[in-house]
Every structure is written in C-alpha cells, then in structure tokens.
Amino acid sequence: MNYTCIAVDDEPLAIEKIVSFVERLPFLTLKATFDNAVDALAYLSANKTDLLFLDIQMERMTGLDLLCALPDRPQVILTTAYSEYALKGYEFEATDYLLKPYLFDRFAQAVNKAVKRLSERAISQEASPDFIFVKTDYRLVKVMLSEILYIEGMRDYRCIYTSCGKILTQQTFGSFEEQLPAAQFARIHKSYMVSLSKIESIEKHRVKIGKELLPVSESYRDGFYKRIG
C-alpha cells in the first residue's frame, strides 16, 4: 500500500534531506513541501495526507500552532533541533520525534511506526465493531458504541459518558480516535469527542447532547461542520 506525506520546514537543507529519504521508501509518496506553516495549513485544509513531517520552530506560525489549528490531524513526525520540545510534541500525540541531525535508519523507524498506526486504523475501521474495550483501573471494560454519548478530557483522565453511566480511563484521545469509527464519532474540542448520532442540536458553536451543551472550538470547527454537512 502507498501512503502520502508532506514536509514543512523553513530550512532548505532539512527539506532536501526529507525528500531524499522519502525517495528511498517505495511505499511513501511526497505530495508537497512547504517552508512555512501558514501555507501548509492552507494545503491541509483542502487536501488529505497520511503523514506530516513537521518542524517546530518556524517564523509566523510554529509547528505546534499548526497542530492546534488542524481539526483532523494525520500521523505527525516532528523534526527539530531543539530537544526541549519533545515533551510538548508528545502532548499533541505525535507519532514520533526526530532530533536533528538524524540518519536514514532513524527516519525509516519513525515512518514505519506511522505506517503501522495507519494500517491498524484501517483494519479497525474495516471491521466496524459495535463495541470497544476500555482500560479502567485494572480492568478492561466492554463499552457498546451505541451507548456512548460523548467523551470528556479531564487532566490525566478521559471520562466516557454513556447512557448507562460514566467510565474513567487514562486512554488518550488519540487512542480513542484510532478505536472509534470516524463515521460515527468526531472531535469538537481538545477536551471533547462526541457521538454524531447523539447530537440533538447545534447552536452558537455548541452541541447539545441530552442536557449538556458542549463547545465546538475554533480549531475543530471547520472539520466538524464539514463532517455533518
């Protein structure tokens, strides 16, 4: 299977390295390169890609600002010369973090990690399960997709609100996005993910589910409204 990617870096030599390394991987196709995050954001708003190679420290708009602005993120491999950004990168659930200067072997390792995640997600979506297992405390709890209302982020925990009650877990939103069918669930905020079938109404960028009004943040707004037409 072939996967698409783009590269964003304001250093010409860094872009050249990525272009050269991608050419050595027959299953990867580089669709575009950008020397700034603003143009990359415009491209990603109109085009989908499987993998994003992204520098962090750039003028006008940083790589992390770009991630904040993307409602539907591809797999992300961060590339930077500054090790202090590593923790911040993982907060955005980046697939991997390449510290410059990196060699081809390390580059290929990061790409293979991204491809594995993409493959697992595709298999999961093809299977279209009607339930997921969620780790809570020392147990795995079976949760029916039809019972999920929404998921709320609460610091180190995520709370799954269902028609039968609440379930607390330390699973990340990235994990839920891989488990839950994209056709049935959508991220509307950095702290909220909702079941589309449970939405009763939308008003003033707020989603009503039951008695709750959940905010649709600006970062996720365009992607969410496109999903619901």
Please state the domain extents for the chain. 3-126, 131-228
Q: What is the pTM of this model?
A: 0.60
Q: Specify the CATH architecture of the domain 131-228.
A: Beta Barrel (2.40)
Does domain 3-126 correspond to CATH entry 3.40.50.2300? yes
Give the SS3 label for residue 28. strand
In tens digits, what is the pLDDT along the chain, a chain of 229 residues? 899 999 999 999 999 999 999 999 999 999 999 999 999 999 998 899 999 999 998 988 999 899 888 877 899 999 988 777 666 666 677 899 999 999 999 999 999 999 998 988 777 666 567 899 998 888 899 999 999 999 999 988 999 999 999 999 999 998 898 888 888 899 999 999 999 999 999 999 999 999 999 999 998 888 888 888 7
Q: How many other CB atoms sit within 10 Å of the CB of residue 218?
A: 12
Residue 208, sorted as left (phi over 0), alpha (psi -120 to 50) or beta, turns out to be beta
Q: Copy the structure tokens of residue 18.
A: 């990525």
